[in-house]
Amino acid sequence: MCFSLWQVPGLRWQGMAVLASSLFAVASFASAGQPGGFADKVNPLIGSSNGGNTYPGAVMPFGMLQWSPENTRGKHVRTASPSGYQYDARRIRGFSLTHLSGAGCAGAGGDVPLMPVTLPITTSPSADLRDERYAADFRHEGEHATPGSYQVKLANGVDVTLAAATRSGMASFDFPAHKPANLLIRASDSEVGSSDASIDVDANTRTVSGSVSSGNFCGYLAKADQRSYYTLYFVAQFDQSFTANGVWQDARVQKGATAAQGGTGYDAKGFPTPGKGSGAWVAFDPAKGPVHVRVGISYVSLDNARANLKSEIAADATVAQVAQHAKDAWNDLLGRIAVDGGSAEQQTVFYTALYHSLLHPNIFSDVNGEYFGFDQRVHRLEGGQKNQYANFSGWDVYRSQLQLVTWLLPDVGSDIAQSLYNQAKQNDGEWDRWTHNSGGTHVMSGDPSGPALADIYAFGGRDFDLQGAYASLVHAATVPTAHDLSDDGCNVECVGERPSLEQWLKLHYIATQSHSWGGAAETLEDATADFALSQLAQDVHDSANAQRFLVRAGYWRNLYNPKATPQEGYIQNRNADGSWPAFSPGSDDGFVEGSAAVYLWMVPFDARGLFQAMGGTAKASARLDGFFHDEHGQWAVTNAGPLHAELNNEPSVETPWLYDFAGQPYKTQDVVRTVLERYWKNAPDGIPGNDDLGEMSSWCVWSALGLYPEIPGRAELLVSSPLFAHAVVHRADGDVTIDAPDASNENRFIHAMSVDGHAYARPWLPSSFAAHGGHLRFELQRSIDSAWGSKSTDAPPSFSARG
């Protein structure tokens, strides 16, 4: 989604140990050749500029708490980026407890920022509209980020260190001597505002607790989402007594008071109301040394926040211990893929991409198994589900991120699938395409839940209620709802799970005028969703529906106009009466964050059928050449205009592998390597566009391995050339070993390949390889080998209805 505004006695790790045993139930793979562990190869600052929208703060894998800075450009009701952090915004107004990585819009979460200040609290922090008084500059030279912890020296002299557990965290604030030592706790100041907030100070127990009700993701775009749908509860326990305290609400400041209440509200445009909000401050004696605070959070209750904190971080724990435990967890998880070769920069890019791929979705259930549901009620985990997950950017992650997560961690994939089904059951049977905490936001287009569940099942996530989820998805795909027939939220946030489903059932396409963001894009997304349902139908042995939904997957053909232009056919908008409106290949009319030229290729399950519609493989291949190159033959793979690829956004991510279907896999190898080399860097601008909760990073991981899950809902892996000389993917059901001893930036073309010692000339691997593993060996060379994988019988499978 690319639209936006801009080891110690007394230490107890009960709750974290439980998480570790479920997430990381294999030995650590930090082996020889990986000094210091895999986490040391991660640079969390990659993607923090150029619209990557990542954050550098402290977080555990899939952690509920993400403790990270909130940057400001001098406007208190706008965060510097949707993640809260923008590399070139050199001022911080707080360190908040929740964040999304790589999202768009105006942000989400950013709940309960804590901000150390070295001046007296004489005016309301909510009235600091330009972040002049209660914010501080910083320099990147004084900043250090690593998986699980974050440290920065502020210009006001305070040294801040953050460390994360799963549902809790710990911080140190080292104040300079001879200055006031005050800590603001901005209860109401979530990134996109709050409808309510409360805070209480208990000096006797050195505790501050409270809550904030928020949501409003992309709310400024449509009234349908200008609402709160979650409440975050927090408990902060300090190791030092307070020398003073006070609260504020809106412009009013009360020294010595211990309670306040009030949110920012949402203004007429859906943004926080300037000047409104509440919070508290507590003061300390800087002569007593650094102030330490342990914070627990919950989306259920204050009692659960306390229980989460007690379970995960002991009262006598240190920040260094919490940070080390998080780093150990990351080393274990990142070590699921061990690579050798390449440059140090390439390894950093790879492991950072893997790190970003494993930040979301987020654990949403508490240590006692409770979680807040989409019906705004408290639920408890049932059956074998270990965790409920939240934050699902469906339009993005069904393409490759969920496959990667499940391939490495099938138990996590299973729980994600069950979580999505739980959300739908609590949401009157509707599967929302973009969920945030305990609310649906309807953002983007299509119905990605079917592909998501089919992806998870195909890559080994089998421990969820497949029968129940499948039946629910079938109902949603065949029975229009009032939301499907509504224009609420359109364009970006159309409230229907299947917008204009009635047209899909009657016309067999979504028309120019519909209840969707764009009819042509919706048609392609629905075709993919129905293809995924056909695969799930096979999984539950429902042969009739397998055929039915496969036929429906072919409805994309109803929008292929062979005479769209005098020279070429395109998929384009079509009126309900069957006529074709005016058309231009570079237009985004009918499409979502892309042009007709971009969306032409988005039929990944039936590439052969698409090529046939275009006049044959030779013509399709020539058009692909023009898609990836400009009129001068130069690469045109991102920001090259609407007629060319946009490999910084999801509609284009599968296109490089289409050459594998066209008998020219060497071109896949060339495009993929070029994108990795030019646009994925060890730098703040090292991600080409929004990372979208890890989707784009997962593309980088798969591509660097020389593999890609091209077909939604299936586990065949398409092949490109590996970036590293050696890689091992450690899996419980069988390791995958990839050897390419001649791999280099220049040696990018496959001359030969073997699977388990046997010569292999196909540019794809069957699903059994993803399931059981094996040994791949590549011979790479500098020059093109146009013969390898070129036979028509070598092409990956395509799927269309028969009969």
696-709 pLDDT, tens digit each: 999 999 999 999 99
Q: How far is CA 53 from the centre of its chain?
A: 11
- Model confidence at 36, pLDDT cuts 50, 70, 90, reads low
Res 294 pLDDT > 70? yes
- Model confidence at 28, pLDDT cuts 50, 70, 90, reads very low
Res 22 pLDDT > 80? no
What the block records as the tokens of 647 is 């490999």
Specify the range with the lowest mean pLDDT, choosing from 25-39, 213-227, 616-630, 766-780: 25-39
Region 282-288 average pLDDT: 97
Can you tell me the distance from the alpha carbon of 294 to that of 310, in angstroms, rounded to the nearest whole number? 10
| The predicted structure's pLDDT at residue 223 | 87
What the block records as the tokens of 477 is 């795909």
3-state secondary structure 24-53: CCCCCCCCCCCCCCHHHHCCCCCCCCCCCC
DSSP secondary structure of 289-311: --EEEEEEEESS-HHHHHHHHHH
What the block records as the tokens of 711 is 């077909």
| The predicted structure's pLDDT at residue 2 | 52
Report strand pairing: 736-739 vs 774-781.
Answer: parallel
Region 599-612 average pLDDT: 98
Share of the chain above pLDDT 70, in %: 95
Q: Which SS3 state, helix, strand or coil, does residue 734 take?
A: coil
| The predicted structure's pLDDT at residue 307 | 98
Res 5 pLDDT > 50? no
Strand order in 717-719's β-sheet?
707-708, 717-719, 764-765
Q: Which SS3 state, helix, strand or coil, does residue 779 take?
A: strand
- Return the closest-CA partner of residue 276 out of 258, 267, 266, 263: 263
| Residue matched to tokens 């907030």 | 197
Can you tell me the distance from the alpha carbon of 320 to that of 323, in angstroms, rounded to the nearest whole number? 5
The string of pLDDT tens digits covering residues 714-767 is 999 999 999 999 999 999 999 999 999 999 999 999 999 999 999 999 999 999
| The predicted structure's pLDDT at residue 802 | 60
| Residues forming beta bridges with residue 91, ordered by sequence position | 137
| The predicted structure's pLDDT at residue 517 | 97
| Residue matched to tokens 């809106």 | 250
Can you tell me the distance from the alpha carbon of 99 to that of 698, in angstroms, rounded to the nearest whole number? 19
Count CB neighbours of 621 within 10 A: 18
- Model confidence at 499, pLDDT cuts 50, 70, 90, reads very high
- Model confidence at 476, pLDDT cuts 50, 70, 90, reads very high
By the 8 A CB rule, do 197 and 188 touch?
yes
| Residues forming beta bridges with residue 254, ordered by sequence position | 247
The string of pLDDT tens digits covering residues 628-656 is 999 999 999 999 999 999 999 999 999 99
- Model confidence at 471, pLDDT cuts 50, 70, 90, reads very high
Share of the chain above pLDDT 90, in %: 95
- Model confidence at 14, pLDDT cuts 50, 70, 90, reads very low
What the block records as the tokens of 352 is 């950072």
Res 13 pLDDT > 90? no
Res 25 pLDDT > 80? no
By the 8 A CB rule, do 67 and 95 touch?
yes
What the block records as the tokens of 542 is 């429902």
Residue 396: partners with Cβ closer than 8 Å, 6 or more residues away = 1, 444, 650, 692, 693, 695
- Model confidence at 224, pLDDT cuts 50, 70, 90, reads confident
Cα dihedral across residues 615, 617, 622, 627: positive or negative: positive
| The predicted structure's pLDDT at residue 26 | 31
For the question of whether the overall pTM of this predicted structure is more than 0.75, the answer is yes
What distance separates the 2 farthest-apart alpha carbons in the chain?
A: 83
- Return the closest-CA partner of residue 607 out of 799, 468, 792: 799
- DSSP state, residue 175: P
Res 200 pLDDT > 90? yes
Res 27 pLDDT > 60? no
| Residue matched to tokens 């979208």 | 692
Res 32 pLDDT > 80? no
By the 8 A CB rule, do 388 and 365 touch?
yes
| CA-to-CA separations, 186 to 30, 65, 70, 490, in angstroms, rounded | 40, 17, 12, 33
Res 9 pLDDT > 60? no
| The predicted structure's pLDDT at residue 801 | 83
- DSSP state, residue 341: -
| Amino acid making up residue 794 | D
What the block records as the tokens of 46 is 């990659």
